[in-house]
Structure 1
């Protein structure tokens, strides 16, 4: 029998321990977040390139007019701040004093600290807390303290939290609102899978969350500070043993994928329809993201193309070394001194004959073979870079004095800003990156969604509170 949830105290108010995951680039907005808070939970406005509006209420297109990447980066930060402020204000109005409103940022997004300062300065009294992951956000607590809001770091291990706590967070212990444990094998979007962990060998979350609580206790953190379980959460009756469990302390639950399929969800109808067709295994944990992090998304033609591109890849040397004795005679034009193995030379000729006539260098001394059309798109996307990440493998942009990573731009990746903006605003779902958690296949199996039923956020929260 499902134990049921009890409300918790958060930011001076009573809320359900149910958190809406803050999905970036307009996949959550004021409508979904405000409705989630109005239902008594914690709604999360994404502050990652959120939409802003003109005086008539129409979305302002994010058009970049500056000629330099640095100039476009400044435009991007202005868009990000204006958009997040607009979303927070609208969400707060919808919530009407119920629940709470958080904002979510990616630490590795371009200008993350400037965006945080800009948003919190202009939304004083409206934002209860800041969730932040995708990196090691050491300065998160310091920024939160300047505005008197809670901070909620997103981690995937007790080890990561220990490092954050010892270096910075222990100095602002009173504003630690919760710690989000994001399962690196099950969550959608960017995941905190470390190099020491096998992406093909998922570990059960309970021991890892228990370890996280132990680390928190070592730091003197009260068991009343919740650990928020994120990734793979669908029905709460499946987490019954976690509720009121003295080993774990206070537990709350974050839902990222299920709120995508609600009436208030801002994602386009085609995206919602596609969610209802997914089968188990249709979500791919991959490493094509220009962030360098693992991430999880629907294995649609967009991702399959990236997989195929990486498969059309051979190593080369600039001199005849070992098995690399054969001069490459396709894909490189008049360029000389690309030596490959006999087998790879044969592969390259086959790809060239199939229309993949252009060889593009990667930072790892390999070549990937693409069509002329594909190479033109890659080159244009790289040239149009607006610095949406602190470091971008695809364009070699970095938010530093020289604005470069010092590495060759990687054609095996893609412009994440372009594809996420496109899918969020009605672009083809099969031709763009479609983030989703690994439980997304359950939309098709769950009787709650039978006959194409799309609930309101209130109906979804009420359903979740029953355990189902």
Structure 2
């Protein structure tokens, strides 16, 4: 096999590895089988430590059940599941790797109990985990935790500004364990993205100047050019990144693949999900803001997402008193008379009610959305069953500390992300659940490597990537 020109191994965790990192994908979409195989192929495999699966003595996945009566008790159960599952996944991945490559773990800082989970996993996997990647929030404490367990840390950022804030506040104290900085393109990456309020979700920006600005920031803070920036989001063929490799303006560069490893023999996602990836066209992945985290995220625009889009479109503002243009009282979908709307919105609301969306649910933004009886019932059950999977949840108003409430009204325009990600990862309907994917997923259909329904092993995929394709 001929390796793409200019691509050289890097030293990570005391050994040479290819600068190819497996993206650690959320709930059960990256596990020991895929990450162990990625490491065995000479790269850096990444076990997802987000509510990872455990197994019973027969090898079957242990269902994660929450019979406890209170959210706080369910949250504590979730932390126990998360630690047990991630520890088992790391141990299995390490065995599969055969001492090759390296094993990282990935956590979302905004997941519920993130710090407790991370500390619990690292305590029980000493010597097996080389580094921790962490994004979805500002993980200031990541470097402090890494220092306690003597592992590398690899923060995920989407701008030089975010890195500077992390460095100034905390990371400069643990500079020796900063192994790399992951730049995740907020317009192209799958899953939760770091798009800021100053950036337009409809106007993607070229990653090159943004990564150059990140490197300039790192240099200004005294970070060596030998600390790689890992380009994540939209990476498919390495030959398309030829001018990034051995580029003195950018320093050391590595590449993260999140979407391509979904379609491998070892990928743990269900076959229906794998099959659907082959059918996607450009534009079939939607950058949206329905996630209860409040972050933008990217997922396949299936009926599940379309129903959330439609729900938010069936929305009108109201006021508690007659004021301004709010001159008429809402007479469908609500109890009581303290809902004043515009005459135009009253007509729209009556139209939605006539179509079967006869229930109006209040949102935290002084609006109501109109839903069917079945939608209302599902929303209420899911909110009541909340197990505290996020540090702050817009859908259920859960918070994982202090008084355990965000203090805001629960938002019916969102959804229970734990429920849907667990469901799709374990064989649920791919049309009625959240299906995360990067925006380059349409390339499965175009790339001749996958023709005739070919599904590579992880080793075959890594070998293919190394050629430039």
Equivalent residue number for residue 340 of structure 2: 339
Specify whether residues 261 and 93 from structure 1 end up closer, same or farther in structure 2 by C-alpha distance, changes over 3 A only: same
Query: How far 1:454 moved relative to its partner?
Result: 0.4
CA offsets 1:251-293 (integer angstroms, 9 cap, x no match) = 0000000000000000000000000000000000000000000
Equivalent residue number for residue 220 of structure 2: 218
Partner secondary structure for residue 370 of structure 2: strand
Equivalent residue number for residue 254 of structure 1: 256
Structure 2, gaps ≥5 residues long: none
Structure 1, gaps ≥5 residues long: none
Equivalent residue number for residue 327 of structure 1: 329
Partner secondary structure for residue 419 of structure 1: helix
Asked whether the equivalents of residues 36 and 96 of structure 2 are also in contact (C-alpha less than 8 Å), the reply is yes
Does 2:178 align with 1:176?
yes
Q: For 1:211 and 1:366, how far apart are their aligned partners in 2?
A: 40
1:111-260 residue pairs with structure 2 within 5 A? 111-260=113-262
Equivalent residue number for residue 74 of structure 1: 76
Q: For 2:410 and 2:113, how far apart are their aligned partners in 1?
A: 20
Does 2:429 align with 1:412?
no
Equivalent residue number for residue 445 of structure 1: 446
Partner secondary structure for residue 119 of structure 1: helix
Q: For 2:6 and 2:79, how far apart are their aligned partners in 1?
A: 42
Equivalent residue number for residue 366 of structure 2: 365
Query: How far 1:399 moved relative to its partner?
Result: 1.1
Q: For 1:378 and 1:320, how far apart are their aligned partners in 2?
A: 30
TM-score (norm 2): 0.99
CA offsets 1:28-71 (integer angstroms, 9 cap, x no match) = 00000000000000000000000001111111000011100000
Asked whether the equivalents of residues 288 and 297 of structure 2 are also in contact (C-alpha less than 8 Å), the reply is yes
Q: For 1:390 and 1:113, how far apart are their aligned partners in 2?
A: 10
Query: How far 1:3 moved relative to its partner?
Result: 2.0
Partner secondary structure for residue 459 of structure 1: helix
Asked whether the equivalents of residues 2 and 240 of structure 1 are also in contact (C-alpha less than 8 Å), the reply is no
Equivalent residue number for residue 274 of structure 1: 276
Q: How many aligned residue pairs are there?
A: 467
Asked whether the equivalents of residues 81 and 119 of structure 1 are also in contact (C-alpha less than 8 Å), the reply is yes
Q: For 2:107 and 2:126, how far apart are their aligned partners in 1?
A: 17
Query: How far 1:4 moved relative to its partner?
Result: 4.1
Q: For 2:374 and 2:208, how far apart are their aligned partners in 1?
A: 48
Query: How far 1:2 moved relative to its partner?
Result: 4.9
Asked whether the equivalents of residues 4 and 466 of structure 2 are also in contact (C-alpha less than 8 Å), the reply is no
Equivalent residue number for residue 306 of structure 1: 308
Q: For 1:80 and 1:326, how far apart are their aligned partners in 2?
A: 50
Query: How far 1:302 moved relative to its partner?
Result: 0.2
Q: For 2:382 and 2:390, how far apart are their aligned partners in 1?
A: 14
Q: For 1:2 and 1:37, how far apart are their aligned partners in 2?
A: 19
Q: For 2:120 and 2:67, how far apart are their aligned partners in 1?
A: 22
CA offsets 1:278-323 (integer angstroms, 9 cap, x no match) = 0000000000000000000000000000000000000000100011
Equivalent residue number for residue 103 of structure 1: 105
Q: For 1:175 and 1:360, how far apart are their aligned partners in 2?
A: 48
Partner secondary structure for residue 163 of structure 1: helix
Q: For 2:292 and 2:313, how far apart are their aligned partners in 1?
A: 18
Asked whether the equivalents of residues 6 and 246 of structure 2 are also in contact (C-alpha less than 8 Å), the reply is no
Q: For 2:266 and 2:236, how far apart are their aligned partners in 1?
A: 19
TM-score (norm 1): 0.99
Equivalent residue number for residue 48 of structure 1: 50
1:376-455 residue pairs with structure 2 within 5 A? 376-455=377-456
Asked whether the equivalents of residues 395 and 415 of structure 2 are also in contact (C-alpha less than 8 Å), the reply is yes
Partner secondary structure for residue 190 of structure 1: strand
Q: For 2:129 and 2:404, how far apart are their aligned partners in 1?
A: 32
Q: For 1:101 and 1:80, how far apart are their aligned partners in 2?
A: 18
CA offsets 1:332-376 (integer angstroms, 9 cap, x no match) = 13x221000010000000000000000000000000000011100
Partner secondary structure for residue 11 of structure 2: strand
Asked whether the equivalents of residues 4 and 467 of structure 1 are also in contact (C-alpha less than 8 Å), the reply is no
Partner secondary structure for residue 206 of structure 1: helix
